[in-house]
Amino acid sequence: MEIVNVIFCASPFILPCFLGIRILGQASDDFSRLAGWLTLKPLIATPLWFFLVDATFSGDWSRPGPAYVLTALPGIGLTLILVLIFRSVFQSHSSATRMLLALDTVRWGSSFLMGLLPGSIKLLLAFIALAMPTVFALFAQTSSKESPQHQI
């Protein structure tokens, strides 16, 4: 039964893992590298998020404690680090880069909001949180192929 849990928990990250590695392996410009790293980011952020959720759990899922705000740190923190490293991309790929950041915000934002919002909304956010790594990976793969470096 434990293997079923591992497979179920890992399944939303399988395609993003392969696409992120592929994007980075074929990257010829900073936009593609940013897209690749943002695609792989959930592999690092999600375990950190689970750790922080566990560490800040107040004992009542309907009322998260004030420390629950810390669970946003892995998603926001890793995004900010990547934005600082690849800040030059924001001048030359503005619309695609903004879309990557918007999708990334939806990805970590839905996970964070699951702990703050009531019942049925949590189910919708859980679905979004599980689907977003794959949606993001597919967009990143498509947009990195359309990068100006690839059009030459």
Residue 138 belongs to some domain of the structure: yes
In degrees, rounded to 5, the angle at the alpha carbon of residue 59 between the alpha carbons of residues 57 and 60 is 100
Residue 50 belongs to some domain of the structure: yes
Please give the average per-residue pLDDT across 40-62, as a whole number: 79
- Segments forming the whole domain that contains residue 123: 2-147
Across 15-24, 50-59, 99-108, least confident range: 50-59
Number of structural domains, the chain? 1
H-type alpha helices, 27-118: 30-56, 73-85, 89-92, 94-114
Give the C-alpha distances (Å, rounded to integers) separating 72 from 36, 82, 105, 108, 146: 21, 16, 10, 7, 31
Rounded CA separation 54/42 (Å): 17
Nearest 5°: phi and psi at 86? -110, 35
Across 43-47, 56-60, 128-132, least confident range: 56-60
Residue 146 scores a pLDDT above 70: no
pLDDT tens sequence across 82-115: 999 998 888 776 788 888 899 889 888 887 887 7
**How many residues are present in the chain?**
152
Residue 152 belongs to some domain of the structure: no
Tell me, what's the pLDDT at 85? 94
Residue 23 belongs to some domain of the structure: yes
Residue 32 belongs to some domain of the structure: yes
Output the CA torsion 146→85→44→11 (10° steps): 0
Higher pLDDT, 104 or 3: 104
Residue 81 scores a pLDDT above 90: yes
Please give the average per-residue pLDDT across 104-133, as a whole number: 81
Tell me, what's the pLDDT at 150? 42
| Single-letter code of the amino acid located at 29 | D
Residue 42 belongs to some domain of the structure: yes
